[in-house]
């Protein structure tokens, strides 16, 4: 029985087990199971590897996309550049880390913008593990960006700075929310932005996928912006992980 799974904590919000279990049934993939492995601490990771027979691959979610890296034997070059891992392949006793968030986000963003010119400037809301994949994607697509966080850090904007100066939203037509704000069950949460400055020329991409329309996205809808949630990215990164495990 080939075993795949997800590590993180907590895992109540995860779609992965349902997604892959349905995939196995739909595609007639036999002798394969997908399990959830909630780890209260990343220090429990080595014991999980040791005690789980026939483990072939793992997905990694909050809060371990960066914390798991020291436990791996090798990193795919893109994961190393991003500085975060969301997929692990176990082969010949070795653990190799990949980042398929990058693949999922890049493919989804290109579809989202569609025939429109690619934005020249973007704001990345949040500085966690997911933001790194977004950062490298924008670099590869030639889109300039600035990080936005609550605290004042060199080369990062604060939400207060964005609110106090219309320049930032006026020049950044793409806004990507990589924070968990607005995720179920706390669906009223959203980044602290001057939403009244939004125009129909703005693209709002929310990595949150539950609910399908977040409070952040609704602000964009109210301003006639282009909006997208993270569900397509989620599916894309999952399929890319499956290719990694079986490649």
121-160: string of b/e by CB count within 10 Å (b at 16+)? ebbbbbbebbbbbbbbbbeeeebebbbbbeeeeeeebeee
Q: How far apart are CA 4 and CA 8, in angstroms?
A: 14
Look at the chain and count its residues: 247
Quote the pLDDT of residue 227.
98
CA 126 to chain centre: 11
**For residue 246, which phi and psi values (nearest 5 degrees)?**
-110, 5
Q: Is-contact 200 225, C-beta < 8 A? A: yes
For residue 247, the model assigns a pLDDT of 87
Whether the Cβ atoms of residue 147 and residue 156 lie closer than 8 Å to each other: yes
What is the pTM (predicted TM-score) of this model? 0.90
Residue 149 scores a pLDDT above 90: yes
* Section 125-152 average pLDDT: 93
For the structural domain made of 102-232, what CATH number should be given?
A: 3.40.50.720
Mean per-residue pLDDT for 5-21?
90
Assess whether pLDDT exceeds 80 at residue 129: no
The class of domain 2-99 in CATH terms is alpha beta
3-class SS shares of the chain: helix, strand, coil, % to 5: 40, 25, 40
By C-alpha distance, which of 59, 60, 174 is closest to 108? 174
Q: Where in the chain is the domain with CATH 3.40.50.10860?
A: 2-99
Instruction: Give the pLDDT confidence of 232-245 residue by residue, as tens digits.
Output: 999 999 999 999 99
More confident position, 50 or 129: 50
Condensed to tens digits (0 to 9), the pLDDT of residues 180-209 reads 999 988 999 999 999 999 999 999 999 999
pLDDT of residue 152: 84
**Residue 59: pLDDT over 80:** yes
pLDDT of residue 158 exceeding 90, the answer is yes
Q: Determine whether 219 is an active site residue.
A: no
- Contact of 84 with 65, CB cutoff 8 Å: yes
Whether 142 contacts 109, CB under 8 Å: no
pLDDT band, very low/low/confident/very high, at 48 (cuts 50, 70, 90): very high
Q: What number is the average pLDDT over the span 86-104?
A: 97
Across all residues in the chain, what is the average pLDDT? 95
* Ranges 12-21, 30-39, 161-170: which has the least confidence: 12-21
Q: Which residue in the list 26, 50, 65, 96 is annotated as catalytic? A: 65
Residue 225 pLDDT > 90: yes
d(CA 57, CA 172): 38
For 205, how many CA atoms within 13 A lie in the half-sphere containing its CB?
32
CA distance 136 to 131: 9
3 state DSSP class of 121: strand
């Amino acid at each position: 029985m080939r075993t795949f799974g997800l590590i993180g904590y907590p895992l109540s919000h995860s779609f992965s087990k349902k997604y892959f279990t349905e995939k196995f049934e739909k595609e007639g993939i036999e002798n394969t199971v997908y399990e959830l492995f909630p780890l209260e601490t990343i220090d429990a990771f080595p014991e999980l590897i040791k005690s789980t027979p026939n483990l072939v691959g793992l997905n990694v979610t909050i809060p371990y996309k960066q914390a798991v890296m020291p436990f791996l034997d090798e990193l795919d070059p893109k994961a190393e550049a991003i500085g975060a891992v969301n997929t692990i392949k176990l082969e010949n006793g070795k653990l190799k880390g990949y980042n398929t968030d990058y693949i999922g986000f890049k493919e989804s963003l290109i579809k989202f913008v569609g025939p429109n010119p690619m934005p020249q400037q973007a704001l990345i809301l949040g500085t966690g593990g997911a933001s790194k994949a977004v950062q490298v994607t924008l670099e590869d697509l030639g889109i300039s960006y600035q990080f936005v966080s609550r605290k004042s850090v060199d080369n990062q904007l604060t939400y207060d700075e964005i609110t106090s100066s219309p320049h930032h939203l006026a020049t950044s037509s793409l806004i990507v929310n990589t924070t968990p704000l607005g995720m179920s069950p706390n669906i009223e949460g959203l980044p602290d932005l001057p939403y009244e400055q939004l125009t129909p020329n703005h693209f709002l991409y929310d990595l949150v996928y539950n609910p399908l329309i977040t409070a952040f996205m609704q602000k964009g809808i109210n301003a006639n912006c282009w909006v997208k949630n993270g569900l397509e990215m989620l599916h894309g990164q999952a399929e890319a992980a499956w290719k990694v495990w079986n490649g």
